[in-house]
A and B are shown apart, each in its own frame.
Chain A
Amino acid sequence: MSQYKMHLLVCAGTGCHSSQSDLVYEMLRDEVDRKRLEEEVQIIRTGCFGFCEKGPIVKVLPDNTFYTLVKPSDAREIIDEHVIKGRRVERLLYLDPETEEHVLDSKHMGFYKKQLRIALRNCGTIDPENIDESIARNAYQALGKAITEMSPQETIDLIKRSGLRGRGGAGFPTGLKWEIASRNQANQKYVVCNADEGDPGAFMDRSILEGDPHSVLEAMAICGYCIGATKGLIYIRAEYPLAIRRLKVAIAQAREYGLLGEQIFGTSFSFDISLKYGAGAFVCGEETALIHSMEGKRGEPANKPPFPAQSGYLGKPTNVNNVETLANIPVIIMKGAEWFSAIGTEKSKGTKVFALAGKINNVGLIEVPMGITLREIIYEIGGGIKHNKKFKAVQTGGPSGGCLTEKHLDTPIDYESLTAAGSMMGSGGMIVLDEDDCMVSVAKFYLDFIVGESCGRCAPCRIGNKRLYETLERICDGKGTAEDLEKLNNLSNVIKDTSLCGLGQTSPNPVLSTLNNFYEEYKEHVFDKKCRSGKCQNLLYYVIDDEDCVGCMACVRVCPVNAITGAKKQTHYIHQDKCIKCGACMEKCQFDAISLLNDYPRAASTQVHA
């Protein structure tokens, strides 16, 4: 094989893919072919780089040049200038929002500086559809080492010593989970990879499967060796077609190489993996619901115990691990438990992948060591709040999580500290909110999601969350009462206390944490009929300024509900009880006399002397 002088890595993750990165790839190929550079330049489609905010991404190696927002039409310039003449295409470089200067390579980008990529180690570096590239990056060596040099118990002990905990939400120690499954005797056991990623805005598992499927396959086989299972199942949502394709390709290649199948590495250990598709129900991320769904039953959870480790898929002992958890396993085995446990905090070892979203400059996927502070994530990696607005809160843990506020900015992030702060690690969604966000509306948004995703099995979740949502809706509509605030509290606590599964037990968290941290905003909505952020439509008031109004009757005529009164050449008046907030009057007024206020008392007093 010839020695390529240059590698062009084109991100083919779902984010970049949807911004035409496949076309960028084709155009680069064409250019390279036309210039007869195919011997010197290798163009690879890789998994996600994480910096989705600025996709499509093209990274040029060896100089680490990081091109952002690349269009298919930029391909020729990249080849002509960078590849042939060695000159970077300045206009495609990342522009540092602070210094407003172009950043030459990824090593100098704030986004990557504080990251430590273990689970994402190969994402954006290798071609996920070519097993050779994975093998070149050590894939399947950990499996080989485990099954030829270590006993199952030694392997489990290693994972236990590493301190790895489940990355899907609850943070159960992975090694212990394997040990429990290994101790239950049965003629058949199963390893299940939970790829039913469902938090709004979260896509870390998808990125790993799209960018480095072999790390997950290898880890499943290691788990199979440890617990005594010969069958692995990946439960993946059908809305992840790219991840499904890459997994299929990876499984086929691994089988062809003999890395999956019978007698792996010449030992008596056999293991194979198949895919099971989910229909995208959030609750199917809960392991018992996931197992029901795989069995073809209604996707709803069951009471635990029995735990899946005792009686899971088809009644057999089953170990369920999340994608990100599994992606850590091979590295831990190769580099050792001590290496891994040196990263992170006392009780939370290693790294965590977060999907950074919301009012933040660098939206994307990041992997950071446990113990990093929110401030570092938001201001250094995330590049700060968009448009220099004021930070208000960050929502972690998805619909089951809660809000962290300014006072938590310097808290080191780990499982315990997030829980103590009234949120949770969850699967890694991190949504940044700024001063323009209404916290009651945020809670309402998450409850809306939960109401849609509750399976309906237990009464508190099925009906209670609906009632929570309705109460929040009333408050946002300006119809909330003091009693509603009390109800929110009691209902939330009872739902937490009595729901059947993790979904219901955590569903009121967005309400409780906003009640705890932003009670003032609730009170404003209820008692002052005011939404300080102006997000609640029904708490906005159209008001006519008597200074500017000339009494032209235009607004009176256009109002569809006759909410405006006033005679010609006299100041007009909007009756708030009739107004449906359609905005037609404001649009019609040629004298800018109508404004939209978010403060009812002021709105009222303005009108009193009118």
Chain B
Amino acid sequence: MEHTTGIKTLDDLKRKQEEVRARISLRDKAENPESLVQVKVAMATCGIASGAKEVMEFFALELDKRGIDAVVTQTGCMGYCFAEPTVEITLPGREPMVFGYVNPKKADEIIERYIKNGELVDGIIPQNYNTIES
């Protein structure tokens, strides 16, 4: 619990809520992931070795900063080790899309063009296998 001087008005309470919302925003979002942008960063050995950690942090930080409601999660190796770091983006109501060779610069482009406007950007890896329904 953070120290507070006391809540004197309803506005105080709302300000306080803004302040502490981040604590649980992930949980709020998890309740209804289908309505949010889902970003899954492949964080297996191959991914991490190619800089996936940096990419994941970039997404988490920037999506929040740019006011986009998104869930950033890590996932295991997607099998595209040649194209690491790989990121799977699911826009609400759309099929998942996998991007390869993602670095912070690429990530920035993905946010601005694909996530914000739905425009396709280079680097999409066609899904070439089916997986059992999870």
User: In the complex they form, do A and B come into direct contact, defined as C-beta atoms under 8 angstroms apart?
Assistant: yes
| A residues with CB within 8 A of B | 1, 3-7, 9, 42, 61-64, 84-87, 104, 125-126, 130-133, 135-138, 140-141, 144-145, 148, 253, 256-259, 265-266
Closest to B63 in A: A3
Query: B130 within 8 Å of A by Cβ?
Result: no
Instruction: Report the separation of the CA atoms of residues A10 and B33 in the bound assembly, to the nearest whole angstrom.
Output: 20
Of the candidates B24, B29, B31, the one having the most CB atoms from chain A within 10 angstroms of its own CB is: B24
Q: How far is the CA of A258 from the CA of B16 in the complex (A)?
A: 13
Given contacts A85-B44, A86-B44, A258-B6, contact A5 B33 (CB under 8 A): no
Q: A135 and B20: CB pair below 8 A?
A: yes
Q: Smallest CB-CB separation from A140: which chain B residue?
A: B13
Contact present for A7 and B43 (CB under 8 Å):
no
- Contact assessment for A7 and B27 in the assembled complex, using a CB-CB cutoff below 8 Å: yes
Q: How large is the interface on B (under 10, 10 to 19, 20 to 34, 35 or more residues)?
A: 35 or more
**Residue of B at shortest CB range from A263?**
B8
B residues within 8 Å of A by Cβ?
1-2, 4, 6-10, 13-14, 16-17, 20-31, 33, 42-44, 56, 60-61, 64, 71-76, 134
Report the minimal beta-carbon distance from B112 to chain A, rounded to whole angstroms: 20
Q: Which of A125, A132, A140, A253 is the one whose CB lies under 8 Å from B27? A: A125
Q: Which residue of A lies closest to B25 (CB)?
A: A136
Question: Once bound together, how far apart are the Cα atoms of A135 and B24, in whole Å?
Answer: 10
Check B74–A86 contact: CB distance below 8 A: yes
- Would you call A133 and B20 a contact (CB within 8 A)? yes
Main secondary structure of the interface of B (DSSP, over half): helix
Contacts A63-B30, A87-B76, A130-B1; is A266 near B43 (CB within 8 Å)? no
B58 vs chain A, min Cβ distance (A): 12
Q: How far is the CA of A126 from the CA of B134 in the complex (A)?
A: 27
13 residue pairs of the A-B complex, CB under 8 angstroms, read A3-B61, A5-B26, A62-B26, A62-B72, A62-B73, A86-B73, A131-B1, A132-B20, A136-B24, A144-B9, A144-B10, A253-B1, A266-B9
Q: Are B21 and A136 in contact (CB under 8 A)?
A: yes
Picked from A5, A125, A140, A257, the residue with its CB within 8 Å of the CB of B72 is A5
Residues of A within 8 A of B7 (CB): 140, 257-259, 265
Question: In the complex the two chains form, what is the Cα distance from A607 to B62 in whole Å?
Answer: 85
* Docked complex Cα distance between A136 and B15 (Å): 10
Residues of B within 8 A of A256 (CB): 4, 6
A141 engages B14 (CB within 8 Å): yes
